[in-house]
Chains A and B, each alone.
Chain A
Amino acid sequence: MQYLVQLLISGLAIGAIYGLIAMGFAVIYKSTGLVNFAQGEMTMITAYIAWTISTTVSGNVFVVAAGAILAAVLLGLIIERLVMRPMLGEPVFATVMVTIGLAVILRSAINFIWDAYPHGLDIGIGRGIVHLGSIGVRTGQIAVIVTLLLLLTAIWAFFRYSKVGVAMRAVAADDRTALLMGISATRVHALAWAASSVIAGIGGVFFALSYDLSPAMFQLGLKAFPATILGGLDAVLGSGLGGLLIGITENLAGGYLGSGMKEVAGFAMIIVVLMVRPFGIFGERDIERV
Chain B
Amino acid sequence: MRTGDYKQSYGELVALIDSPPVWLWSAVLLLALIAAPFVLNSYALSFLMIILITMTGALGLNILTGYTGLISLGHVGFLVTGAYAYAVLVSKYHMPPLVGFLGAGVVPALASLIVGAPSLRLKGLYLAITTLAFSFIINTVILEMRWLTNGARGIQVQRPEIFGISFDSDAAFTYLCLAIATLTLLATLNIRRSRVGRAFVAIRDNDTAARVMGINLHAYKLFAFVTSAFITGIAGALYGIYLSFVSVEGFPFLLSIEALAILIVGGLGSALGAVLGTILIVLLPEATRLVFSLFSAQMDATFTTGAQELKSMLYGLVIILFLRFQPRGLVGAWHDIRRTWVHWPLRY
Cβ contact of A101, chosen from B123, B212, B316, cutoff 8 A: B316
Q: Do B125 and A263 touch (CB < 8 A)?
A: no
Is B144 interfacial (CB 8 A cutoff)? Answer: yes
Q: At the interface with chain A, which of B133-141, B223-231, B280-288? A: B133-141
Cβ contact of A274, chosen from B126, B212, B316, cutoff 8 A: B126
Measured CA separation A16–B136 after assembly (Å): 22
Is A193 interfacial (CB 8 A cutoff)? Answer: no
Is A268 interfacial (CB 8 A cutoff)? Answer: yes
Cβ contact of A100, chosen from B144, B209, B260, cutoff 8 A: B260
Cβ contact of B118, chosen from A112, A263, A275, cutoff 8 A: A275
Q: At the interface with chain B, which of A5-13, A85-93, A157-165, A166-174? A: A85-93
Q: Do B125 and A111 touch (CB < 8 A)?
A: no
Q: Do A97 and B316 touch (CB < 8 A)?
A: no
Q: Do B320 and A102 touch (CB < 8 A)?
A: yes
A226 to chain B: closest residue by CB: B133
Interface string of B196-217 (1 = CB under 8 A from A): 0000000000101100100000
Measured CA separation A288–B140 after assembly (Å): 36
Interface residues on B, range: 35 or more
Q: Report chain A residues within 8 Å CB of B125.
A: 35, 92, 96, 233
Question: Which DSSP category, helix, strand, loop or mixed, fits chain B's interface?
Answer: helix
Q: Report chain A residues within 8 Å CB of B315.
A: 101, 104
Is B122 interfacial (CB 8 A cutoff)? Answer: yes
Q: Report chain A residues within 8 Å CB of B118.
A: 271, 274-275
Q: Report chain B residues within 8 Å CB of A107.
A: 312
Q: Do B129 and A104 touch (CB < 8 A)?
A: no
B318 to chain A: closest residue by CB: A101
Q: Do B323 and A105 touch (CB < 8 A)?
A: no
B65 to chain A: closest residue by CB: A93
Is B317 interfacial (CB 8 A cutoff)? Answer: yes
Q: Do B323 and A97 touch (CB < 8 A)?
A: yes
Q: Do B130 and A270 touch (CB < 8 A)?
A: yes
9 A-B pairs whose Cβ atoms sit less than 8 Å apart in the complex: A92-B125, A100-B260, A101-B318, A101-B320, A112-B309, A270-B129, A270-B130, A271-B118, A274-B126
Seen from chain B, the residues whose Cβ lies within 8 Å of a Cβ on chain A are 71, 118, 121-126, 128-130, 132-134, 136-137, 140, 143-144, 206, 208-209, 212, 254, 257, 260-261, 264, 306, 308-310, 312-313, 315-320, 323-324, 327
5 nearest CB pairs, A to B? A101-B319, A267-B133, A104-B316, A105-B316, A108-B309
Seen from chain A, the residues whose Cβ lies within 8 Å of a Cβ on chain B are 35, 83, 86-87, 90, 92-98, 100-105, 107-109, 111-112, 222, 225-226, 229, 233, 258, 260-261, 263-264, 267-268, 270-271, 274-275, 278-279, 288, 290
